[in-house]
Each structure stands twice: as structure tokens, then as C-alpha cells.
Structure 1
């Protein structure tokens, strides 16, 4: 793996309070990605490279909630503590936050769906995305798929993702699907070497 280059960006997907320990929709092991992502954040800061972070930013009546007939408990309701990034993630002040899932009638797993992410990446002349976060088998998967479809070179930060695993092996299957879509699996030791 070559070192980080101009045109690279770190994209952190949905690392929010409701998806980590004791959250409304906690991903098993979700908190484990935080110290790893902090090391990626330090590496990108050292190279003066941008950081983007997506977040679910749902209205209280979002279609994905059980109360509306959806598959999930209410989570990441806009302007609530559960929708916030964990304090110990320590996102830099320069982070570019992308909110998704704000339309009550539409699900949005991908950070590109109904957002300005693609336009903002293009404006910043980003060609390579290093993607980690939560959850492997939903928002990370769909964000990686869309990034590849839009022509980005994608590095999947396999040490900084965790799956929901509604069905056993969903996470493994999602990782395989991302690799088949052209994502390159990567861990910090290889990037920092």
C-alpha cells in the first residue's frame, strides 16, 4: 500500500451514540471501532487530509422505525443525544458532516443517498476514499457500493467496521460484496507502515 496522497479522504460512516454500547440500536462491538478510527484520524491529520463523517439524522416518524412499520427501533433522531457522535471519537473541528435519512418517507443507508457527499468530495478533488464505521452490513456496505459506482477508489478499513449480523454471517457476506465491487481491504498496520 502506498502512503496517503493528496486527493485522499477518510470517510467515517455513522459512528453515533445510538449505534454503540447502550444505544437504541447498538451494533455488537460498535464501540471497538472508536479507538481504531482515532488512529486513522491522527494519520489523516498528520498528512493534512480531509475527514468526512456521515450520520443518520432521522425525524421522529422515520419510515425505518418499528412505530412506522419499519425494521428498526427508533434511533438517531435528529438533535437528540443518540444522534450525536461519541465524545471519545474526537472528530476534528474541520470534519465535514453529512446528514442522511432526514426524509421521513425514505430509507437512506448510503452516505451518498439524497446528500451532497459526492459534490463535496468532487469539490475537494477526492479520488480515494478510506471508509470505516457502522454497520458493515448496512450503511458501510451501501456507502462503499455507491462510492465505487461513482468511480472512487475505495479502501475498506476492515479493522474499523462492525456488523449488525441480523442473520449469521451478514457482515462477512457484506465484506465479500464490497471486495467484489472493487473495494480494497486495508488495516491500519498496512497503511501506517
Structure 2
């Protein structure tokens, strides 16, 4: 078991990010057994799971922008925004946490992306403004108050929500380790850039 000041953060382990889902990561379902085992082993005294939880008319959806197509980029609140297929709509089967994991071992389930106008890749901050100066979700304070000093991050998608969560955890004052084999990307073409970003943030691969 890890020290009590180490937490596990499982990001967006939801069917819509797996093969057959609305926005599949490459082999996104392959990491489920390993993450399920991590939670069942109780190696972490503190476990947090995030859940993408969008209203049906969320502005990150290409369907809300007329002729725009999924994966195009626009400016939203002055920042680049990738337009996505409709995914993880509140209450839908694709938005549920994967049932193969026993989520009773999670101490907190954080829903993000709940505001129509704001996307939320990171578990720690909304997608408005530059890194480190974006509105907080409150997760950092919750972890600090529980005495957490180190966060291990895994889940989906490696090149977006997991990466941003790891970066923001580091900015928030935590030691961060990235569980590379327990994550999968939207596109493996982004893996090199993801590794560079993690190294620049001083984040270790575990």
C-alpha cells in the first residue's frame, strides 16, 4: 500500500471514450482491468474518479456550431477549442463510469464539463484562460485538506484530460506520477507531444 499522502486519480473511464463509443480512444477499453485491479487492491488510501458530464447542448460539441465538423478548432472564450462529437451527455449510457470497476472504493467522484459554455479537460481547472490561471474545480483544496502530497494519474484520454489533469496537479503543488500504461490517447500521434509536455512539467512516468 502506498503512503497515506498518495492519491490515485482515475480520469473519465467512461464507455463513450472506448471502442464503439462516441469519442473512442485507441484501445481505451484495454486499461479497464488494470485500473479495476488497482482499486480492488486498496493500494491507495484515497481514490478520486472524474466523470465527463455534459449537457446535451454543450458548446464543445460540433453539433452546436452549424456547419462545423468534429475535430475542427475554434476560439472559445479566447482560447483554442477542439470541437468534439456529442459525448458523455448527462444521464446517457456513454457517460456512466465503466461498470467493470468497483467504484465503491472511490472516495470522490468529480463530475466536470457540466456548464454549457465551458469545457473541462482537467480535474482541477476549467478550460478558461492560460494554465495555472483558470477557474478551479475545488479538487486541489480537497486533496490538500486530506494531507495528500502526491497524485498518480491514469485514465482517458492520455493526450487531453489525463494530461491536463496531471499538469494542473503539478501546478497545484502536488508531486505527480503519470501511469502511462494505464492511459490511452485519442490519437497515438500525440504521444510524443504528451511525453514532452509531461517532462516540461516535471512529471514522472510510472
Question: Within the alignment, does 1:105 sit opposite 2:103 as a pair?
Answer: no
2:138 aligns to what? Answer: 116
Partners of 2:182 and 2:166 in 1: CA distance: 14
Out of 189, 192, 195, the residue aligned to residue 169 of structure 1 is 189
Given the alignment, which residue of 172, 190, 193 partners 1:150?
Answer: 172
Q: 1:28 to 1:94 in 2, by over 3 A?
A: closer
Between 1:56-65 and 1:118-127, the stretch displaced more is 118-127
Whole-angstrom distance in 2 between the partners of 1:123 and 1:78: 29
CA distance in 2: counterparts of 1:94 and 1:27, whole angstroms: 23
Write the distance in 1 (CA, Å) between the matches of 2:86 and 2:15.
13
Pair 1:39–1:175, CA change in 2 (3 A): farther
- The number of residues matched between the two structures is 180
Give me the whole-angstrom Cα distance separating, in 2, the residues matched to 1:63 and 1:41: 33
Encode CA deviations 1:122-164: one digit per residue, 9 max, x unaligned. 2211110010000011001111111011110001001101111
Check whether the contact 2:11–2:50 (CA below 8 A) recurs between aligned residues.
yes
Distance apart, 1:84 and its partner CA: 0.5
Distance apart, 1:4 and its partner CA: 1.6
C-alpha deviation, 1:88, in angstroms: 0.7
Q: What corresponds to 1:61 in structure 2?
A: 57
In structure 1, runs of 5+ residues without a counterpart are 187-193
The Cα of 1:93 is off from its aligned counterpart by 4.5
Match for residue 190 of structure 1? Answer: none
User: TM-score scaled to structure 2, two decimals?
Assistant: 0.82
Correspondence 1:17-28 to 2 at 5 A: 17-28=15-26
2:161 is the alignment partner of 1:139 = yes
Give the alignment partner of residue 83 of structure 2, picking from 71, 91, 96.
Answer: 71
Could you tell me whether the CA contact under 8 Å between 1:21 and 1:29 is conserved in 2?
A: yes
SS in 2 for 1:92: helix
TM-score (norm 1): 0.87
Q: Which runs of 5 or more structure 2 residues have no equivalent in the other structure?
A: 66-81, 126-135
Instruction: Determine the C-alpha separation between the residues in 1 that align with 2:40 and 2:199.
Output: 26
